[in-house]
């Protein structure tokens, strides 16, 4: 490349310098060095140093009014975005000298990280027009250049930003906020056409290829393709999210299939309970937000080698460049498309998977066992009654008054009265007795002590009961109490997934019924076992995981499943033993 010509007219520019950007680096950039480099290229800078209470939009508007049309930002992503918001829609040009912590904007626009090279682009680079996102909360419209986040990222951003700037004392606050933040029912409307509804913690809407810790979420030219990248983190636990933070996600890397990825012009996001919304590090509001893209409204100086925007039909977020379609590329494309389909249709795929497993169990069940089950069902009218009551409980969830009663009873057990620490710990210990892990440990002990038929019954019953519970949860789709009730108290870990029926309660009553029938326990022993199962159910309300009707439905389902286990006893499992 030829050196910059010295036979140029002087260019006036507004230099906006953030002295706090990159202050924790070993050799922070000084404003004197920037001015010296700019003057060497016949750029006359009018310098402005950002102070804590500076009104940056007013500074930019004043310079625009005086005829300045070149704005050079020497700072991090936050400073660049703040200036870009005011310049969007004007004829001015933005120049970037990245000296911040992450510098995602510079990375996305292929601007060098070295200060002299970045200054040189102000003369040797080319001007392009890039897209800007617009986030509307109520009557407030806020432009953003990089990313708009809804949910946990917005909640954690202040502490994360301080930690990245060297304030390690905020780590405790970060962990505390992470542990205390609940998921929400998140509803997406994509381009006024497609609706997505699920439980989750985070939605990210990106205008740039790189966000966060240099995670690539879009194609190289996604900042001017007229589309936004929407990442919906549905059904991910907090541990999964932390894994994503450290591992990252991006083009060319395998994405977790639970991360749903869309390309849209506009997305409406609504959350219950209301989750915070943030645009490029600036908090906006909570709850409903409309995010859309404004195409080619911001002029920016970039490297001459930056990939040009695709013409004609827009490519998918997975596409990069036109290259020969080798067999390896075709195979990779097929895998990516398959992963995208599964990700976007995950609820349907999950329903099909659970149904297929249950159908397979029915098909491969020996004929004599099926006959025994049928005769057993005919002779146990209580099972039919249980099925009817369970179905009525499911239908009652649409009853508004019933929901109010459910919420009142839940809050009575969950919030009312004194809640000392020792009681919380006791309730957590009891609630773990209803887990599938506890049942499998009991099965192992029985197997080692010689009661193999009962151990087989427990394992087979636990697995099939889990499948049925997950199937019903999918079909009913009832949110957890803490999602709907702001005053709900969480004890211990925050339960994930759906609420109806209670899996712990069904497991506890299944074990109690199976053991009572297997050992022909007397009334005192039966009362004791059912008392333990009832205690497990009550603890599920106490710890904030389930409504009372969830627990009641789980008790009915588990008891019925225990009776079914006894019906097959002597036909299948005793032969195995």
The CATH-assigned architecture of domain 140-306 is Sandwich (2.60)
Measured over the CA atoms of residue 49, residue 55, residue 60 and residue 65, the dihedral's sign is negative
Q: Hunting for tokens 């649409």 — which residue is that?
A: 398
Round to whole Å and give the CA distance between 31 and 18. Answer: 9
Q: What is the CA radius of gyration of the chain?
A: 30
What token pair was written down for 537?
Answer: 């159910």
- Per-residue CA distances from 71 to 231, 273, 298 (Å): 32, 41, 12
What is 504-557 written as a DSSP string? HHHHHHHHHHHHHHHHT--HHHHHHHHHHHHHHHHHHHHTTS--HHHHHHHHHH
Cβ atoms of 537 and 508 closer than 8 Å: yes
Upper half-sphere CA count for residue 348 (Cβ side, 13 Å)? 6
* SS3 assignment for 87-150: HCCCCCEEEEEECCCCCHHHHHCCCCCCHHHHHHHHHHCEEEEEEEEEEEECCEEEEECCEEEE
For the chain, give percent helix, strand, coil, nearest 5: 50, 20, 30
Q: What is the DSSP letter of 66?
A: T
Write out the chain's pLDDT in tens, 577 residues: 444 554 568 899 999 999 888 655 545 788 999 999 999 999 999 999 998 888 999 999 999 999 999 999 999 888 999 999 999 999 999 999 998 877 889 999 989 989 999 999 999 999 999 999 999 988 889 999 999 999 887 666 666 665 555 566 656 666 666 666 777 888 999 998 888 888 888 899 999 998 877 778 888 888 999 999 999 887 667 666 766 655 555 545 556 666 888 999 999 999 988 888 989 888 888 889 999 999 999 999 998 877 655 443 343 333 333 344 444 444 444 544 454 454 444 445 555 655 565 566 556 555 555 555 555 555 566 777 777 788 777 777 767 777 888 889 999 888 888 888 889 889 999 998 998 888 989 989 988 888 888 888 888 888 888 888 888 888 777 888 887 777 788 888 777 778 889 999 999 999 999 988 888 888 999 999 999 999 999 999 999 999 999 999 999 999 988 887 776 655 554 454 4
**Bridge partner residues of 260 (DSSP):** 232
CATH 1.20.144 intervals, the chain: 367-576
The CATH number of 367-576 is 1.20.144
- The CATH number of 11-124, from 3.30.70.1230, 3.30.70.330, 3.30.70.1400, 3.40.50.10330, is 3.40.50.10330
What pLDDT shows up at residue 344? 47
Q: Are 120 and 41 in contact (CB under 8 A)?
A: yes
Cα 512-514-520 angle, rounded to 5 deg: 95
* Rounded-to-integer distance, Cα 226 and Cα 233, Å: 23
- Taking the C-alpha atoms of residue 396 and residue 392, their distance in angstroms, rounded to an integer, is 6
Q: Hunting for tokens 């588990």 — which residue is that?
A: 558
C-beta of residue 481 within 8 angstroms of C-beta of residue 546: yes
Question: Does residue 215 contact residue 248 with C-beta atoms inside 8 Å?
Answer: yes
What the block records as the tokens of 336 is 């990516």
Which segments of the chain belong to CATH 3.40.50.10330?
11-124
What's the length of the chain?
Answer: 577
The helix (H) or strand (E) run that includes residue 302 is: strand 289-302
- Specify the domain boundaries for CATH 2.60.200.40 within the chain: 140-306
Cis peptide before 501 (omega within 30 of 0): yes
- Indicate the DSSP class of residue 349: H
> For residues 499 and 478, what is the distance between their CA atoms, to the nearest angstrom?
5
pLDDT in the model for residue 332: 42
């Amino acid at each position: 490349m030829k050196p910059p010509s010295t036979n140029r007219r002087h260019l006036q520019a507004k230099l906006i310098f953030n002295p706090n950007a990159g202050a924790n680096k070993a050799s922070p950039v000084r404003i004197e060095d920037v001015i010296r480099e700019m003057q060497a290229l016949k750029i006359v800078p009018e310098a402005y140093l950002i102070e804590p209470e500076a009104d940056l939009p007013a500074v930019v508007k004043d310079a625009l009014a005086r005829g300045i049309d070149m704005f050079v930002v020497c700072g991090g992503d936050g400073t660049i975005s703040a200036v870009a918001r005011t310049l969007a829609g004007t004829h001015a040009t933005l120049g970037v000298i990245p000296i911040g912590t992450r510098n995602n904007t510079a990375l996305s626009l292929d601007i060098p990280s070295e200060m002299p090279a970045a200054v040189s682009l102000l003369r040797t680079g080319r001007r392009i027009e890039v897209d800007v996102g617009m986030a509307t909360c109520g009557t407030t419209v806020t432009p953003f250049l990089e990313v708009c986040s809804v949910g946990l990222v917005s909640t954690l951003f202040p502490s994360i930003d301080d930690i990245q700037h060297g304030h390690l004392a905020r780590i405790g606050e970060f962990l505390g906020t992470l542990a205390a933040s609940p998921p929400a029912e998140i509803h997406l409307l994509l381009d006024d056409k497609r609706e997505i509804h699920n439980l989750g913690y985070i939605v990210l809407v990106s205008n740039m290829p790189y966000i966060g810790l240099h995670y690539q979420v879009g194609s190289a030219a996604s900042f001017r393709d007229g589309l936004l990248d929407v990442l919906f983190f549905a059904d991910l636990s907090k541990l999964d999210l932390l894994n994503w933070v450290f591992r990252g996600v991006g083009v060319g890397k395998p994405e977790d299939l639970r991360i749903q990825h869309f390309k849209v012009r506009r997305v409406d996001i609504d959350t219950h309970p209301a989750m915070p919304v943030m645009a490029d590090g600036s908090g906006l509001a909570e709850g409903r937000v409309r995010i859309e893209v404004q195409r080619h409204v911001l002029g920016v100086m970039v490297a001459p080698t930056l990939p040009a925007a695709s013409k004609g039909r827009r490519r998918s977020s997975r596409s990069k460049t036109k290259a020969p379609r080798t067999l390896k590329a075709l195979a990779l494309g097929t895998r990516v498309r398959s992963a995208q389909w599964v990700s976007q249709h995950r609820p349907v795929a999950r329903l099909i998977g659970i149904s297929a497993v249950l159908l397979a169990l029915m098909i491969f069940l020996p004929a004599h066992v099926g006959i025994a089950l049928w005769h057993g069902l005919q002779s146990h009218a209580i099972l039919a009654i249980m099925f009817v009551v369970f179905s009525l409980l499911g239908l009652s969830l649409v009853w508004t008054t019933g929901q109010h009663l459910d919420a009142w009873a839940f809050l009575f057990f969950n919030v009312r009265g004194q809640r000392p620490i020792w009681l919380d710990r006791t309730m957590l210990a009891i609630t773990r007795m209803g887990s599938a892990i506890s049942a499998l440990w009991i099965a192992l002990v029985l197997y080692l002590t010689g009661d193999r038929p009962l151990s087989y019954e427990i394992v087979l019953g636990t697995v099939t009961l889990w499948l049925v519970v997950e199937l019903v949860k999918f079909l009913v789709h009832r949110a957890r109490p803490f999602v709907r009730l702001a005053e709900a108290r969480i004890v211990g870990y925050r339960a994930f997934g759906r609420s109806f029926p209670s899996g712990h309660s069904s497991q506890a009553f299944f074990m109690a019924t199976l053991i009572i029938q297997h050992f022909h326990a007397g009334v005192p022993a039966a009362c004791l076992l059912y008392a333990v199962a009832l205690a497990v159910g009550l603890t599920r309300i106490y710890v904030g995981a389930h409504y009372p009707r969830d627990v009641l439905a789980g008790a009915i389902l588990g008891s019925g499943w225990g009776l079914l286990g006894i019906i097959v006893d002597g036909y299948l499992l005793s032969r195995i033993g």
